[in-house]
């Protein structure tokens, strides 16, 4: 049975209490103002109440220690197979490698899943267990510029690093390393026990780096069965070098669209750019774009002026407030601003105020804008077309299509019906309760290996995790022990053997923690 | 001397005096409104009062007819020498070819003129005459894509064309063809008479296609002598296939600048783009650009809201009004709109109203805008920088630097002091009176060869002709007989031998008309 019901009950309960405790958004008659939020409680979440996982599976741990070279080799085998989705390099070979590995491990079902894009992989391990874990895998990686790498990106050599021995390769940490480590953990349990304590459903996609456009098709094919599972895991190197395990419980949704201005019957050049001197008698699509966009936000760019855009935003509930109170010490304006190269936050906010704004507010951001001549020097044209890419980050309870409809209506009302809107992406927020049993199981395991937990109710970024939480009704644990860095960059690494003084786990402990998590989930 | 405007812009035919008899711009207290103009008179300029040039220089005409193959060969020699300024191909060879040709013709001075860019050429033919003509030449050409050409762009072959025999080559009409034809005319006079009826000063540049950045340095070197001249000529294929000679008496000036928004102490990412989710707490330079630009013009993009921007604009004077009245029949809204792919002019203006707006108004046009991610699909970033290229076409009496200062002041007053402005170009309008003796000489010669004149007081495009008219105080004649097309495009041609039914001149008549013009000027 799904955990969804518990999750929903918890969420509803918290939402109900917060409505009384927090300051509501301040509505103003004509000009929208940006809502400000306060927390529902001053209490901090008490992680002490979560016991460290006490069980020991010594035979499995020994198996891992005795076979660590083979486990490392399995990771290297995955990393040495290029699988660059954007360039269609090695995709089918990698999909088949994943499928074959599952079959070799004893998965009763191990199938390639055709999609409109790169194929997916489905696997089902039937342990005859009560509980079932859905494991999300991505087998694709980002492109590389090999000349920028210290060790060739598909050699997957173990090299020395200040933190210890690391595997350097494209995909080392994003995500082949931690994913194959998780499968190593499963293999070890099977080798010792002959089976697993939970059933496993694997959904693997080869287009995560392209924005997962066809992942929903993979879910489509197994939706009824996936809904019967108990939890979902995204194996992930979530540790920081100091050993702290970062657990992200939620993400914002996103609406992403283009606003396009073109010449047409209303005026402006329709076919192609024309000589700039015609501006004297010809309308300009670029000016229309600029004027239309300018009506969407306040002069400082920070308050959305689309009527009712903020209406459905809710303030932090009790659980979220407790988690923020527990984690706010780790929020450093100074460090973040230095990292980002930003002089100050909007309106000079700092500390908890900035953190709440960051996590709970919706946004309207121009990702890109273009039109006409953008090269060096002088060229005088009146462009026939200009466009902007705009995104809006959506906190829980905001529907992307409703948000888009409000923007369309606003532009129409302001006289910008000539501006075209093309939606490129849109999905809602996703959140798992810290009290979901799968999350509690993970946290208890992490506490066994390290004292430090950093649990966030949400990040301000977006991921289509609603596929798990909302569509399938599963709590999602996008976490694991282990440290890696360099995703999407040269010299990507995953730590496999920490040096003295490095608190993050090595490969053996990463796998042992996954072993514990699977057993904990079964309880 | 940007000739692309001359090629692209339509003709309007129009005449002399400098009174202000028209309705002035309508100033409004707070919100600027776009001034509307009416003509100073309903009378049309009477081209019948200009007598056709009556003299005949038969010996020189005979020389031209007897040496036409050599004259064609001289043009081909120039065209076969590539001289692509943007790619620095053949520049020095071409400059030396021009210099050597002048020396061979008997120019007392024929010198390479170093500049900060490609070299210029100075030539002085001392005829001991009373009058002196300054001849502006450009020896550079646009780049080519040879695969797009019917005949190789630097073979300069004579090929058949519906209008007759044409030379096809890069530079055939823009501008080596008509320029070398003019020198052929001078050579012919010298061959017959032993000297010229006027002294000639040649200033040639090799950077016209780059926007003439260093032409003022060439003028600097000979300014005192150039100021003693009587007129300036830009040899030009000004005929249309139907034989009409188009004479452009003026150009608008231009102000061209970039508006740049960047993150900094005020907020926004200063170093590089950051993740788009940070919009919740980080200012956006792109929004600042959009909001700042939006204050410059009205919602429809057509009225400049910068205070006092329209103050110095003057309505059409009597000469301009007479020329417009004489030429307005050639203005076709329908034809121009079809050519440009434009559904309607601003505010639904038509006919004379549109023509006056086009020629007398100032503009604020976005030539290009860019920032952030502009590729396919979805990428979520908060860009650290965005910019726009903006130009303003300046009718007479508007100083580009004063215009820019008003824009700067306005942005500051509106709270956009964080937007940087970088001026890329700026020069004032230029205009020669139709009653200037050099213009009357040219018109009388054109009337000898063709009945149709299309004389415009101005085009809406810009060229730095102020160098001649305002700096040196010379009337400028940017005209000649002859037809060509394809400037900046593949298959550029100049007509050399018209087919039956083509009214435009062939090479012999082009040269004879230049001969007549030089004699007419001497009178």
For B194-235, what is each residue's pLDDT tens digit? 999 999 999 999 998 887 889 999 999 999 999 999 999 999
Sheet holding B199-205, edge to edge: B109-113, B120-125, B199-205, B132-138, B231-233, B476-477
What is the bridge-based pairing of β-strands A109-113 and A120-125?
A: antiparallel
Question: Which residues in chain B touch residue A275, judged by CB atoms under 8 angstroms apart?
Answer: 4-5, 8-9, 461
What's the CA gap between A357 and B282, in Å, rounded?
10
Which residue ranges make up each domain of chain B?
Answer: 4-14+252-427, 50-249+432-522
What's the rounded mean pLDDT across residues B310-338? 94
Q: Which CATH number fits domain A59-248+432-522: 3.40.630.10, 3.40.980.10, 3.40.1280.10, 3.90.700.10?
A: 3.40.630.10
Question: Over 80: is that where the pLDDT of B368 sits?
Answer: yes
The 10 Å Cβ neighbour count of residue B315 is 21
Question: Which residues in chain A touch residue B273, judged by CB atoms under 8 angstroms apart?
Answer: none
**pLDDT at residue B30, rounded to an integer:** 64
**DSSP 3-state of A129:** coil
Q: Are A247 and A453 in contact (CB under 8 A)?
A: yes
**pLDDT at residue A212, rounded to an integer:** 87
Q: How confident is the model at residue B5 (pLDDT cuts 50, 70, 90)?
A: very low
Q: How far is CA B34 from the centre of its chain?
A: 26
Peptide linkage before A472 cis (omega within 30 of 0): no
Query: Are A383 and B361 in contact (CB < 8 Å)?
Result: no
Q: Are B366 and B258 in contact (CB under 8 A)?
A: no
Q: Which residue of A has its CA nearest to B212?
A: A378
What's the CA gap between A469 and A455, in Å, rounded?
18
Give the residue with greater pLDDT, B25 vs A405: A405
| Interface residue of A274, A342, A364, A462 to substitute, partner B, most B CBs within 10 Å | A342
Question: Over 70: is that where the pLDDT of B177 sits?
Answer: yes
Find the CB nearest B286 among A300, A354, A369.
Answer: A369
Q: Are A219 and A150 in contact (CB under 8 A)?
A: no
Report the mean per-residue pLDDT for chain A: 92
Q: Which residue of B has its CA nearest to A302?
A: B283
| Interface residue of A37, A213, A272, A279 to substitute, partner B, most B CBs within 10 Å | A279
What's the CA gap between B168 and B152, in Å, rounded?
8
Q: In chain A, pLDDT over 90 holds for what percent of residues? A: 87
Q: Which CATH number fits domain A4-47+250-427: 3.10.20.30, 3.40.50.300, 3.40.640.10, 3.30.70.360?
A: 3.30.70.360
Q: Which residue of B has its CA nearest to A287?
A: B301
For A289-320, what is each residue's pLDDT tens digit? 999 999 999 999 999 999 999 999 999 999 99
Across the A/B interface, how many CB contacts are shorter than 8 Å?
A: 293
Per the rule left: phi > 0, alpha: psi between -120 and 50, beta: everything else, B268 is left
Q: In chain B, pLDDT over 90 holds for what percent of residues? A: 87
Q: Are B478 and B465 in contact (CB under 8 A)?
A: yes
For A222-276, what is each residue's pLDDT tens digit? 999 999 999 999 999 999 999 999 999 999 999 999 999 999 999 999 999 999 9
What is the bridge-based pairing of β-strands A420-427 and A250-262?
A: antiparallel
What's the CA gap between B172 and B491, in Å, rounded?
9
User: Which residues, in sequence order, are CB contacts of B415 under 8 Å at separation 6+?
Assistant: A299
**pLDDT at residue A30, rounded to an integer:** 64
CATH code of the domain made up of B4-14+252-427: 3.30.70.360
Q: How confident is the model at residue A489 (pLDDT cuts 50, 70, 90)?
A: confident
User: To which H or E segment does residue A512 belong?
Assistant: helix A507-522
Backbone phi, psi, residue B347, to 5°? 60, 20
Q: Which residue of B has its CA nearest to A256?
A: B378
The 10 Å Cβ neighbour count of residue B20 is 11
Shortest distance between the Cα of A212 and any Cα of chain B, in A, equals 11
ipTM for the predicted complex comes to: 0.87
Question: Over 60: is that where the pLDDT of A330 sits?
Answer: yes
**DSSP 3-state of B274:** strand
What's the rounded mean pLDDT across residues B237-249? 94
Among residues A417, A409, A366, the alpha carbon closest in space to that of A257 is found at A366
Reading the block at residue B133, the tokens are: 């003509």
What's the CA gap between B459 and B41, in Å, rounded?
20
| Interface residue of B271, B347, B348, B366 to substitute, partner A, most A CBs within 10 Å | B366
Question: Over 80: is that where the pLDDT of B53 sits?
Answer: yes
The 10 Å Cβ neighbour count of residue B471 is 17
What's the rounded mean pLDDT across residues A145-157? 95
Q: Are B150 and B491 in contact (CB under 8 A)?
A: yes
For B76-128, what is each residue's pLDDT tens digit? 999 999 999 989 999 999 999 999 999 999 999 999 999 999 999 999 999 99
Q: How confident is the model at residue B463 (pLDDT cuts 50, 70, 90)?
A: confident
Find the CB nearest A290 among B252, B294, B424.
Answer: B294
**pLDDT at residue B287, rounded to an integer:** 98
Q: Are A311 and A410 in contact (CB under 8 A)?
A: no
Task: Give the global pTM.
Answer: 0.85
Q: How confident is the model at residue A24 (pLDDT cuts 50, 70, 90)?
A: very low
Query: Are B415 and A299 in contact (CB < 8 Å)?
Result: yes
Question: Which residues in chain B touch residue A293, judged by CB atoms under 8 angstroms apart?
Answer: 290, 294
For A282-291, what is each residue's pLDDT tens digit? 999 999 999 9
Q: Are A78 and A190 in contact (CB under 8 A)?
A: no
What is the bridge-based pairing of β-strands B199-205 and B132-138?
A: parallel
Give the residue with greater pLDDT, A236 vs A488: A236
Reading the block at residue B216, the tokens are: 């003022």
Report the mean per-residue pLDDT for chain B: 92
Query: Are A389 and B374 in contact (CB < 8 Å)?
Result: yes
**pLDDT at residue A248, rounded to an integer:** 93
CATH 3.30.420.40 is held by the domain B50-249+432-522: no
Q: Which residue of B has its CA nearest to A373?
A: B368
Q: What is the CA radius of gyration of chain B?
A: 25
For A378-398, what is each residue's pLDDT tens digit? 888 999 999 999 999 999 999
Reading the block at residue A271, the tokens are: 């076919």
**pLDDT at residue A246, rounded to an integer:** 93
Q: What share of chain B is helix, strand, coil (3-state, %, to 5)?
A: 35, 20, 45
Question: Over 80: is that where the pLDDT of B302 sits?
Answer: yes
Question: Which residues in chain A touch residue B366, judged by CB atoms under 8 angstroms apart?
Answer: 284, 286-287, 290, 371-372, 383, 386
**pLDDT at residue A14, rounded to an integer:** 23
User: Which residues, in sequence order, are CB contacts of A73 under 8 Å at separation 6+?
Assistant: none
**pLDDT at residue A376, rounded to an integer:** 87
Query: Are A282 and B377 in contact (CB < 8 Å)?
Result: no
Q: Which residue of A has its CA nearest to B375?
A: A368
Half-sphere exposure of B200 (CA within 13 A, CB side): 32
Query: Are A368 and B357 in contact (CB < 8 Å)?
Result: no
Query: Are A342 and B282 in contact (CB < 8 Å)?
Result: yes
**pLDDT at residue B24, rounded to an integer:** 40
What's the rounded mean pLDDT across residues B464-491? 94
Find the CB nearest A393 among B277, B372, B386.
Answer: B277
Strand partners, B204: B121, B137
Query: Are A341 and B368 in contact (CB < 8 Å)?
Result: no
Query: Are A254 and B380 in contact (CB < 8 Å)?
Result: yes
What's the rounded mean pLDDT across residues A140-144? 92
Shortest distance between the Cα of A34 and any Cα of chain B, in A, equals 11
What's the CA gap between A349 and A356, in Å, rounded?
10
Find the CB nearest B275 among A289, A361, A461.
Answer: A461
Question: Which residues in chain B touch residue A377, judged by CB atoms under 8 angstroms apart?
Answer: 211, 424
Reading the block at residue A362, the tokens are: 């919706």
Question: Over 70: is that where the pLDDT of B136 sits?
Answer: yes
Question: Over 80: is that where the pLDDT of A100 sits?
Answer: yes
Q: Which residue of B has its CA nearest to A391?
A: B380
């Amino acid at each position: 049975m799904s955990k969804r019901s518990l999750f929903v009950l918890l969420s509803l309960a918290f939402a109900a209490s917060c409505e009384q405790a927090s300051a509501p958004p301040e509505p103003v008659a004509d000009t929208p103002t940006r809502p400000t939020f306060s927390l529902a409680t001053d209490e901090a979440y008490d992680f002490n109440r979560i016991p460290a996982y006490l069980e020991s599976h010594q035979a499995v741990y020994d198996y891992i220690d005795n076979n660590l070279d083979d486990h490392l080799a399995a990771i290297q085998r995955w990393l040495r197979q290029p699988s660059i989705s954007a360039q269609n390099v090695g995709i089918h070979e990698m999909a088949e490698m994943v499928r074959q590995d599952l079959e070799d491990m004893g998965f009763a079902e191990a199938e390639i899943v055709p999609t409109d894009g790169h194929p997916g992989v489905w696997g089902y391990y039937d342990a005859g267990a009560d509980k079932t874990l859905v494991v999300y895998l991505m087998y694709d990686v980002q492109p590389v510029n090999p000349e920028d790498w210290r060790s060739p990106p598909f050699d997957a050599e173990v090299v020395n690093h200040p933190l210890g021995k690391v595997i350097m390769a494209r995909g080392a940490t994003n995500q082949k390393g931690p994913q194959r480590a998780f499968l190593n953990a499963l293999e070890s349990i099977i080798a010792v026990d002959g089976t697993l304590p939970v059933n496993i459903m694997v959904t693997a996609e080869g287009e995560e780096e392209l924005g997962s456009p066809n992942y929903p098709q993979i879910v489509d094919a197994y939706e009824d069965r996936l809904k019967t599972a108990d939890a979902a895991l995204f194996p992930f190197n979530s540790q920081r070098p100091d050993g702290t395990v970062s657990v992200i419980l939620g993400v914002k949704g996103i609406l992403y669209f283009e606003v396009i201005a073109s010449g047409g019957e209303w005026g402006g050049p329709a076919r192609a750019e024309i000589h700039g001197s015609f501006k004297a008698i010809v309308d300009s699509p670029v000016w229309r774009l600029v004027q239309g966009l300018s009506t969407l936000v306040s002069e400082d760019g920070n308050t959305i002026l689309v009527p009712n855009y903020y209406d459905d935003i809710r303030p932090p509930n009790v659980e979220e407030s407790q988690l923020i109170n527990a984690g706010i010490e780790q929020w450093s304006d100074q460090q973040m601003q230095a990292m980002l190269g930003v002089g100050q936050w909007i309106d000079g906010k700092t500390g908890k105020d900035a953190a709440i704004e960051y996590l709970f507010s919706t946004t309207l951001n121009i990702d890109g804008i273009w039109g006409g001549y953008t090269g060096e020097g002088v060229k005088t044209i009146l462009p026939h077309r200009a466009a902007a890419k705009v995104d809006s980050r959506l906190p829980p309870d905001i529907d992307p299509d409703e948000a888009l409809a409000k923007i369309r209506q606003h532009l129409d009302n302001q006289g910008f019906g000539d501006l075209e809107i093309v939606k490129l992406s849109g999905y809602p927020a996703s959140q798992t309760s810290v009290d979901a049993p799968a999350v509690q199981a993970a946290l208890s395991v992490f506490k066994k290996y390290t004292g430090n937990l950093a649990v966030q109710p949400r990040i301000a970024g977006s991921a289509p995790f609603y596929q798990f939480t909302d569509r399938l009704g599963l709590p999602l644990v996008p976490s694991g022990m282990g440290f890696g860095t360099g995703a999407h960059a040269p010299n990507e690494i995953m730590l496999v053997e920490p040096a003295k003084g490095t608190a993050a786990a090595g490969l053996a402990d990463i796998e042992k923690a996954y072993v514990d998590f699977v057993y904990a989930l079964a309880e």
